[in-house]
Structure 1
Amino acid sequence: MTAILSLRGVTKSYGSGDLQVQALRGIDLDVPEGDFLAITGPSGSGKSTLMHILGCLDVPTTGSYELAGVDVSQMSESDLAHVRNREIGFVFQQFNLLQSQSALRNVELPMVYAGMARAERQDRAAEALERVGLGDRLDHKPTQLSGGQQQRVSVARALVTNPTMILADEPTGNLDSVATTDVLELFHALHDQGRTVVVITHEADVAASAAHAVRIRDGRLSHEAAGV
């Protein structure tokens, strides 16, 4: 299968001289189109650094990173911002919703930044919310929604630009067990529809629910068996 993500020899270092810290040490990783991958590891393992590179929030010190066949490892910040908006749908632990805005308006935001006409973005936002089971909550603000529902809004926001992949950073970290199951079922549904989903998590049960898993420790990857 075609690799949507491909990392070769990726390293990331911070600082200089004797104060240099190597967060990633020669990462090689291929993620096929339509995969559901979990990346797990303890605090300080390099998990967050790897997420930042996968999400085009940072670039490697050395090595290459291809996203949908394009090498993004040496792009400028403006080019990376374009890739983030068009190719990656982010889902965060904290939801990152605007509390004063409706669910519909929150889902519209990536399309506002892309300059899409209002009528089209409203239609697409409503459709995305319908897909995640919140078609009857368009006008609700985050304070009127449960934690699981708020995370569904953030998933709808991630889907609305039809990105190459969904990148979820600790998406169940603030949810109870019922809401966690609900969100994982949504990720499985997206995976079944052919969507590429990459989840960064420290939770073993969340990692085990993915189709494949890799574990990062001391900046190096090892592959593990996983669930579905």
Structure 2
Amino acid sequence: MITLEGVRKTYRSGSVEFEALRGVDAAIEQGEYVAVIGPSGSGKSTLMNILGCLDNPTAGRYLLAGEDVSSMSETQLAEVRNRRIGFVFQQFHLLASQSAWRNVELPLVYAGVPRADRRARAIAALTRVGLADRVDNRPGELSGGQQQRVAVARALVTEPALILADEPTGNLDSRSTADVLALLDELHAAGRTIVLITHEHDVAARAERNLVVRDGEIVSDEPVAGVSA
């Protein structure tokens, strides 16, 4: 599913350079649940941006399902982001003026799916995350955990092969955190490939493997204790 070969990312500001990633090599198979863990400034968010085709490496290669992402046009990259990758962020990024189902249908709007189909698929996705009774509620009428479930439903509505979750529990209380992590467990059990970015070790422990990032490098790639591959 994912192959990284010598991936580097350098940011420049005038004469100053900062190397956020320093030759990252990694492979994630289809259907795996992998957590990328590290402290703030370690490079994990930069890595997530590259995995999500939101940024390009300065050097090295990123292969997604065998395709070299660097060879894709902006139009092709946009299609990959919309159809093949589902994003879940720490900030929910929901439109406050729109209902839950309207927020969930947005990727389908960009994909040109007919209106009737969009509504049906959005409601089905919300039902899947346990919000069948909240489809017409706006974000301000939902709890933080419910808003994150809406965000997960939006990530799922295009049936992507890969779910990228960037600190998805960072703004949630302990009960909502447990609910969202249980939902990610269910998606993994159903065959989704999940990459979870986090700085919390107890959250990372839910994955099958942990990639530990420090100073722009992967310093450890190990299975989680007690989780069978």
**TM-score, structure 1 as length reference:** 0.95
Q: Does 1:218 align with 2:215?
A: yes
Other-structure match for 1:171 = 168
Q: Does 1:56 align with 2:46?
A: no
8 A contact 1:68–1:164 mirrored in 2: no
CA positional deviation for 1:68: 1.5
Secondary structure of the residue aligned to 1:197 is: strand
Other-structure match for 2:185 = 188
Where structure 1 has 5 or more consecutive residues not aligned to the other structure, the ranges are: none
Where structure 2 has 5 or more consecutive residues not aligned to the other structure, the ranges are: none
Q: Which amino acid aligns with 2:10?
A: S
Q: Distance in 2 between matches of 1:5 and 1:106?
A: 28
Alignment of 1:78-97 (within 5 A): 78-97=75-94
Secondary structure of the residue aligned to 1:20 is: strand
Q: Deviations over 1:148-185 (max 9, x none)?
A: 11101000000000112000110000000100000000
Q: Does 1:132 align with 2:129?
A: yes
Superposed structure 1 runs of 4+ greater than 6 Å apart: none
**TM-score, structure 2 as length reference:** 0.95
Q: Distance in 1 between matches of 2:16 and 2:74?
A: 26
CA positional deviation for 1:116: 0.7
Q: What is the aligned counterpart of 2:5 among 4, 8, 13?
A: 8
Q: Distance in 2 between matches of 1:99 and 1:148?
A: 15
Q: Distance in 1 between matches of 2:131 and 2:8?
A: 41
- Indicate the percent of aligned positions where both proteins have the same amino acid: 64
In the comparison of the two structures, how many residue pairs are matched? 225
8 A contact 1:168–1:199 mirrored in 2: yes
Q: What is the aligned counterpart of 1:24 among 7, 10, 21?
A: 21
CA positional deviation for 1:127: 0.7
Secondary structure of the residue aligned to 2:97 is: coil
CA positional deviation for 1:78: 2.7
Q: Distance in 2 between matches of 1:170 and 1:74?
A: 29
Q: Distance in 2 between matches of 1:109 and 1:118?
A: 11
8 A contact 1:40–1:213 mirrored in 2: yes
RMSD: 1.3
Q: Does 1:36 align with 2:33?
A: yes
Q: Distance in 1 between matches of 2:64 and 2:123?
A: 28
